[in-house]
A and B are shown apart, each in its own frame.
Chain A
Amino acid sequence: MLEKALTGGPGYRAWMAFLLAVFATGLFFYLRQLELGLGVTGMSRDVSWGLYIAQFTFLVGIAASAVMLVLPYYLHDYQAFGKITVLGEFLAVASVIMCGLFIFVNLGQSPRVLFVILHAQPKSVLFWDMFVLNVYLVLNIITGWTVLGCDRKGVPPPRWVRPLIYLSIPWAISIHTMTAFIYAGLPGRSFWLTALMAPRFLAAAFASGPALLILICLVLKKWADFDAGEKAIQALARIVAYALAVSIFFVLVELFTVFYSGIPEHQEHFRYLYAGIDGHGNLVPWMWMSAVLAVGALAALIHPRARKNERVLAAACAAVFAAFWIEKGLGLVVTGFVPSPLGSVTEYAPTGPEIAVALGVWAAGFLVLSVLYRVFVAVRREAGSVEPSAEGLRNGP
């Protein structure tokens, strides 16, 4: 099937060429980082994780969100998702690949990355995170590819994929929970030391992932002649609305706990985020923007008429995606380090090379995604109006 990715119109080719150029630029700057050390980034002794790990954290959420299609379709027999479940699985594949790359470029000694396996430490959450992410990647490649391949031939998918699909449901939860545990289990980092971390991560993931999928479906409808169907898109939009509401609620719960308890150490980080401390407030405008985008999007999404308007829906989904990208992709990681254990406020700002590397990783992800979606669209178009054969899988004995 992969050969289908090699053909495409001028638009597709231009898009791929653009992605390749961004990726090549990122690679160039990564090689410089490899040569000179992490000093080319904006990270410091006090803020030792930055853009890379933040992107990783955000993308684990996008990867986990595939479950929002798989679960209703395979567990609740929600037919409308039949056409696009594979889209979710392929999005997960591309996201996990980006996660891996972000971890990789964040290492001070990336050539030693295999030590995580060679000297595996079962007490380290990072080890388990790597493990669950890799298994999740394999699960989604196998299930997505197999189901799509069978659709192409017009045969029901083999019986053996079903357990894999079921397994991928709790597994999706596990990848984001494990990522939350990287943060939530650390003493002395009060910003992260909250049992709400994993639930918050999941709620954010189930809002931002489906929001991205809606945007992708709208793009495919307009430019790739693939219509996911009004019903599926509206169902996704409702998922985004609920998850967004839960997510905002979680943030408010966190704020209450921190500020009503009045423990200074816990308050400081939130102060840094939303008001700045001692004149340091790099993130303040971003965080307020994120808050406004999230609340605005919620207003649009809970209103049925607004949600049904494709333009409003697209804008709301873009807002949700941006809001959570800011929250997790910028704010969450850095703020855990500010103020430092010794009370100093060191600000962090990514450098040019760091941003170039990050964009390069995103480009790599979108390259994978474009190839997979190109195959998907071609197969679905060939299959024409034939209903996806995963039907047979679902209804099988």
Chain B
Amino acid sequence: MSSLAVRKAAPAAGTTPGTAQGPPLRRRIAFVPTVTLLIGALYCLLPVAWVVIAATKSGSELFSTFTFLPGTGFTQNISDLNAYRDGVYWKWMGNSALYAGLGALLSTAVSAFSGYALAIYRFRGRETVFNILLAGVLMPPVILAIPQYLLMAKADLTDSYASVLLPLILSPYGVYLARIYSAAAVPADVVEAGRMDGASELRIFTRIALPMMVPGLVTVFLFQFVAVWNNFLLPYIMLSDDEKFPITLGLFTLLEQGSNTPALYTLVITGALLAVIPLVALFLVIQRFWSLDLLSGAVKS
């Protein structure tokens, strides 16, 4: 990100004498790009703005007042949501946090081990292993989820936390990213020096390589966290007990019931707003530390 600033600043500084004929060139704004981006931003923020306002409306206001006019029912909506089936909503949020947090943590660990092995060692079958793992990215989730469900049923594990957690631990994309990061961040000399000092391979990995890989692994963790938090299909197939639902599935069932009882719509809307807050907050905090380059797998030398 910083390299861009340097590249952009250099020619601008050279071409801005700030002559008497007009304002300095660098202070001029390129209108077309700026306005295009603003329109894009408005489009992307529209549903978010809507849900913030709609959550303040009482059930009757929702259908009667102008959509972008704030209502008076926000606190009532929150307490309705709290009261709904003894606070099952908060159970869903907790479940999502558990699935996404623990799932992403385990997934990052597995990705780190595999990515490091694939990047650092030369061994027989390396490319084969990598290609087979990558082919996993191409598998449509339903192809996996239905036989996974049937196999889980044979193992008597359906409708359990494990049934949603276990299948998501291995992420081919996470392994791919971890391989790129370790290749870029862990110099072969350092690994070799560790061996000279008589450290075991595991010790070299945990004490020397792992700290070097941390910035990349943070990206893998966040990527997996978002992927699991947003997942719908697997819990939809695996779970029937709504005490174990993640927030996505919980809100979906609420919306389904809402089509018969429109009074539930205000609950769905308020619930959707509260469900979005943790991820958006996480997103705003991390984007300061999280280089967007890392997300696309591009590592600069």
The answer to whether A and B assemble together is: no
Footprint of A on B, CB under 8 Å? none
| A residues at B contact (CB < 8 Å) | none
